[in-house]
Amino acid sequence: MYRMSQGLLVILFLIINISFAYGIERVISLSQAPDETPLINPHSVIFEKNKFYVADSGNGRLISYDLKGNPLIALNPEEKLKRPIDLAFRKKDELWVIDKELGGFYKVDFSKKEVKEYILDYKGMRLCPEIFQIYEDKMYILDRETGAIAVANFEEDNLVVEKILKPKDEDFKGFVDFRVNKQGLWGLSRLNKKVYHLKPDGEWEIYSLKGKVILPKSLEVKDNYLFILDRYLTKVIMFKLPSLTKIEEFGEKGWTVGKFYRPIRIRNLYYNYIGIVDEGNGRVEIFQY
């Protein structure tokens, strides 16, 4: 009886493992504009209003896709975008874009059909935005000048930086990516291979990825799972939180569909669909996990 139950346990364990191992599959690739021109150095992807939006940095345009991955529209509002590197919707008709050449934001108001520039500063210091996220009507911005996260409020027609969030760790060398969710703020520091978590109570906790990754480039946090995109390994490594136990990894170096050459960002798009932006292959690969 004991042996039988032991056997059943082993089988159950195998089934769980196999189902998990086979649980990650590529579902869509976003790789072209409506005019069939390829993406050049795409930098970010979002999911909004049942569409995917990609910042096609090398071509200076934004492209929307339907749920099947068919390109819908390529746009460059008022031809102002030169190097769009990140984008997010605040409201249905209000799109924010970071343009590297501008060193700031463009707000695209579709209802008013106008595009406005926003250059941010904090205590007399000009910020250098790289990545941003709008969460609970606050804008969180990864600023290259401080390597920290600037928190900005939307005030009438202005964007005002309220504070800068930065861990008090001597070893901190600046974030390369971050995410905000109900569990707080999660920042990835490449040089010291650490993930910093700012909990809602204001405490920072640190997870060290030393020995687990080589070149961590981007992160995503969903429920109790931490996804780290390792650019050198061209893999996504999934860790269970808070134990930081590695539970799965996927991705392989290559140039054909489904493979990564120079992956740059990972984003959870909706439910259990995750997007990997690969600037090398000029593609966004969307996986279901």
Partner 1 sequence: MRKITFLIFIFLLFLLEQKESKTLIIKTCIDCHPLNKFKGSKVHQPLKNCFNCHTGHVSKYSKLLINKMPDLCYDCHSIILEKQKEFERIHYPLQKGDCLKCHNAHKGERMLLKASLKKVCFDCHKIKTSFKVLHIPFKQGNCNTCHSSHYSDESYLLKSKSICLNCHSLSALLSSHPYLKKGKNCKTCHNPHGAEKKGLLKEIAHKPYKEGKCKECHSENIKGNDMCFKCHSEIKKEFAGVYNHYLPASQGKPFCIECHSPHLSDQKNLLKAQAKSVCLNCHREAVVQRAETLYVHKDWENCLVCHKGHGSNVRGMLRDKEMKLCGGCHKRHINFTHPIGEKVRDPRNGQATSCMTCHDPMGVDYKYLLRLSGERELCIECHKGY
Question: CA-to-CA distance for 38 and 245, rounded, in angstroms?
Answer: 38
| Least distance from partner 1 to the Cβ atom of residue 234, Å | 11
Is the separation of the CB atoms in 42 and 282 below 8 Å? yes
- Of 234 and 268, nearer to partner 1 (C-beta) is 234
Is the separation of the CB atoms in 174 and 192 below 8 Å? no
Question: CA-to-CA distance for 284 and 140, rounded, in angstroms?
Answer: 23
Compute the chain's Rg from CA coordinates. Answer: 20
- The Cα angle at residue 202 between residues 199 and 204, in degrees rounded to 5: 60
- Of 263 and 268, nearer to partner 1 (C-beta) is 263
| Least distance from partner 1 to the Cβ atom of residue 110, Å | 26
Question: CA-to-CA distance for 106 and 67, rounded, in angstroms?
Answer: 26
- Of 82 and 91, nearer to partner 1 (C-beta) is 82
Site for partner 1, rule CB under 8 A? 31-32, 38, 40-41, 57, 83, 85, 100-101, 103, 125, 128, 144-148, 172-174, 191, 210-211, 214-215, 231-232, 254-257, 261-262, 279-283
What's CA 162's distance to the chain center, in Å? 23
- Of 85 and 268, nearer to partner 1 (C-beta) is 85
- Of 46 and 264, nearer to partner 1 (C-beta) is 264
| Least distance from partner 1 to the Cβ atom of residue 190, Å | 8
Question: CA-to-CA distance for 272 and 289, rounded, in angstroms?
Answer: 6
- Of 90 and 253, nearer to partner 1 (C-beta) is 253
Instruction: Please choose, from the candidates 66, 46, 64, 44, the residue with its C-alpha nearest in 3D space to the C-alpha of residue 55.
Output: 44
| Least distance from partner 1 to the Cβ atom of residue 44, Å | 12
- Look at residue 140 and give its three-state secondary structure: strand
The secondary structure of residue 59, as a DSSP letter, is G
- Of 242 and 254, nearer to partner 1 (C-beta) is 254
| Least distance from partner 1 to the Cβ atom of residue 235, Å | 13
| Least distance from partner 1 to the Cβ atom of residue 99, Å | 10
Q: Between β-strands 273-278 and 42-48, what pairing exists: parallel, antiparallel or unpaired?
A: unpaired
Tokens coding 187: 């920042």
| Least distance from partner 1 to the Cβ atom of residue 18, Å | 29
Straight-line distance from the first to the last Cα atom of the chain, in angstroms, rounded to the nearest whole number: 36
